[in-house]
Amino acid sequence: MKYPLSILLVLLFVTGCAPMMAPVSGPPSTPSAPATLPDDEPGGVRGDVLGDVIVPSSPTPERASNSAVAQLVADAWEYNRVGEYDRSNAVVERALRINHTEPEIYLVMASNYFAMAQLQLAEQLARQGLPLAGRNGAVKRDLQRLLSQIISAK
């Protein structure tokens, strides 16, 4: 009795992970559109359910991947260090044009505005950078730290 019970438990485990309803046939596909008129508007036709075609993207790398952006961010930090905040912002905005998803760009701008006592804008920019900074990493920590400083200064 002990042996069949073990088999039953294994089977129970295996079948618990298997789909019991009719599976979607084949991989998710993009529905083909009519050849002439591309779609109906505004009603549209309810197409196939695509399952998980729309999925979140991978987090942005922690540090600037583009060498031009990295250079501009480094230059902007230099200007920040010597107190040339407006020039620092002008430089880092060039990086923003190249890739606005680099979180360190927002860290530089927020730091500049914080130094210029423009706390409201500094806070907003820090908040804008945070979701781009991934789940961990130095930039995220710096953004969080700066945000705390800004909030306590307000």
Binding site for other proteins (CB under 8 A): 8, 11-12, 15-16, 18-24, 30-31, 33, 37-60, 66-68, 70-72, 86-87, 89-91, 93-94, 96-101, 109, 121, 124-125, 127-128, 131-132, 134-135
Name every residue whose Cβ is closer than 8 Å to that of residue 105 and which is 6 or more positions away in sequence: 69, 73, 92, 95, 96, 99, 129
Which tokens is 26 given?
């084949």
Q: State the minimum distance, in angstroms, from the CB of residue 152 to other proteins.
A: 19
Comparing CB distances to other proteins, the nearer of 78 and 138 is 78
Q: State the minimum distance, in angstroms, from the CB of residue 112 to other proteins.
A: 10
Q: State the minimum distance, in angstroms, from the CB of residue 49 to other proteins.
A: 6
Name every residue whose Cβ is closer than 8 Å to that of residue 142 and which is 6 or more positions away in sequence: 107
Query: What CA–CA distance (Å, rounded) separates 80 from 115?
Result: 9
